[in-house]
């Protein structure tokens, strides 16, 4: 049976649109940021011969828990602004091989490139999120400007950082009731930061890398994007008002009313009631 054109696949088109929007919003300058998206094998099989492996690439991480899983992943050194016009060069579809430490390239990276250097951190985070919610399929890393700025002027205590973000907009406690986890500055591209991020991902879908950026997870590209968008909006409001006298604020009692109305449970230990 003839395969469908991979360039028409919804998951490729979604990646094109998402990366274009992230670049447009200034979250992913140059080659900053990366996305990995767990795909449905049956859907991928409509477009690719899954027995045809173009080449294999070491992952640098033992992802035994993900053997056989297929991901579409942004490429290392690739600019998000170029994904829309040239997805086959800037994206790749990989499958975690039977040894758990090798990725089988099924499509993409047409110039001989490879997946993002942050892939180990992504795979670790996928393992964590899937253990919490099997529906979680997306891990997204980016550098939102105001959130990054906020980490320079706000305490990096997870509870205090979350509390401040919740107070910045009525929707925040509803969109991310699990709060944000905050890591101190760490060297990126290492398994160490990947392990720390994955541990945080068991507690929340948002992990702030201080002085660097944000990791966000979700069930879809839209959900992960919307999570990042909401966190960044809250950080923007904070940066616009932090130096001004606070005349009004959303109180903890009001945050509790919001959570009850929208049937969400705020992360314990943050509201002072």
Q: Is 171 a catalytic residue?
A: no
Q: Read off the pLDDT band of 40 (50, 70, 90).
A: very high
Cα–Cα distance for residue pair 56/162, rounded to 1 Å: 41
Q: Which residue has the higher pLDDT, 150 or 117?
A: 150
Which of 14, 118, 223, 232 is catalytic? The answer is 118
Question: What pLDDT, in 10s, does the model give residues 71-96?
Answer: 999 999 999 999 999 999 999 999 99
CATH assignment at residue 8: 3.40.225.10
Asked if residues 215 and 207 have their Cβ atoms less than 8 Å apart, the reply is yes
User: Could you say which of 83, 116, 149 is where a domain stops?
Assistant: 116
Residues 6/90, Cβ–Cβ less than 8 Å: no
Tell me, yes or no, whether 25 and 38 share the same domain: yes
Edge-to-edge strands, sheet with 55-58: 55-58, 102-108, 91-96, 70-74, 34-39, 138-142, 213-218, 206-209, 181-183
Residue after which a domain boundary falls, among 116, 150, 171: 116
Same domain, 215 and 130: yes
pTM for this structure? Answer: 0.95
Supply the mean pLDDT for the chain. 96
pLDDT in tens, 164-221: 999 999 999 999 999 999 999 999 888 899 999 999 999 999 999 999 999 999 999 9
| Total domain count, the chain | 2
R_g of the chain, CA atoms, integer Å: 19
Cα 140 to Cα 217: distance, rounded to the nearest angstrom: 6
* Whether residues 49 and 181 fall in one domain: no
Q: 136 and 207 in one domain?
A: yes
Measured between alpha carbons, how far is residue 106 from residues 9, 49, 52, 74, 172 in Å? 14, 8, 7, 14, 39
pLDDT at 1: 65
Per-residue pLDDT of 9-19, as tens digits, reads 999 999 999 99
> Nearest 5°: CA angle at 176, between 11 and 36?
25
Residue 105 sits in the same domain as residue 149: no
| Domain of residue 53, residue span | 1-116
Same domain as 33, residue 159: no
Q: Are residues 129 and 196 in the same domain?
A: yes
- What is the 8-class DSSP label of residue 16? H
């Amino acid at each position: 049976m003839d395969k469908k054109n991979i360039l028409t696949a919804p998951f490729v088109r979604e990646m094109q649109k998402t990366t274009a929007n992230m670049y447009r919003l200034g979250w992913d300058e140059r080659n900053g940021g990366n996305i990995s998206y767990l795909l449905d094998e049956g859907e991928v099989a409509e477009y690719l011969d899954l027995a045809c492996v173009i080449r294999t690439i070491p992952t640098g991480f033992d992802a035994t828990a993900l053997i056989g899983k297929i991901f579409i992943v942004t490429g290392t050194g690739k600019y998000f602004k170029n994904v829309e016009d040239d997805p086959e060069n800037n994206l790749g579809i990989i499958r975690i091989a039977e040894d758990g430490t090798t990725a089988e390239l099924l499509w993409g990276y047409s110039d001989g490139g490879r997946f993002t250097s942050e892939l180990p951190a992504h795979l670790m985070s996928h393992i964590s999120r899937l253990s919490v919610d099997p529906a979680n399929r997306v891990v997204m890393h980016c550098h939102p400007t105001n959130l990054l700025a906020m980490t320079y002027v706000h305490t990096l205590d997870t509870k205090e950082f979350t509390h401040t973000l919740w107070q910045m907009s009525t929707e925040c406690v509803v969109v991310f009731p699990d709060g944000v986890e905050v890591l101190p500055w760490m060297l990126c591209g290492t398994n160490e930061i990947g392990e720390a991020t994955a541990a945080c991902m068991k507690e929340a879908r948002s992990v702030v890398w201080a002085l660097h950026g944000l990791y966000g997870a979700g069930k879809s590209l839209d959900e992960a994007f919307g999570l990042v968008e909401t966190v960044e909006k809250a950080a923007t409001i904070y940066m616009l008002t932090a130096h001004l006298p606070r005349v009004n604020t959303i109180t903890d009692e009001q945050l509790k009313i919001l959570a009850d109305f929208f049937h969400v449970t705020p992360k314990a230990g943050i509201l002072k009631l």
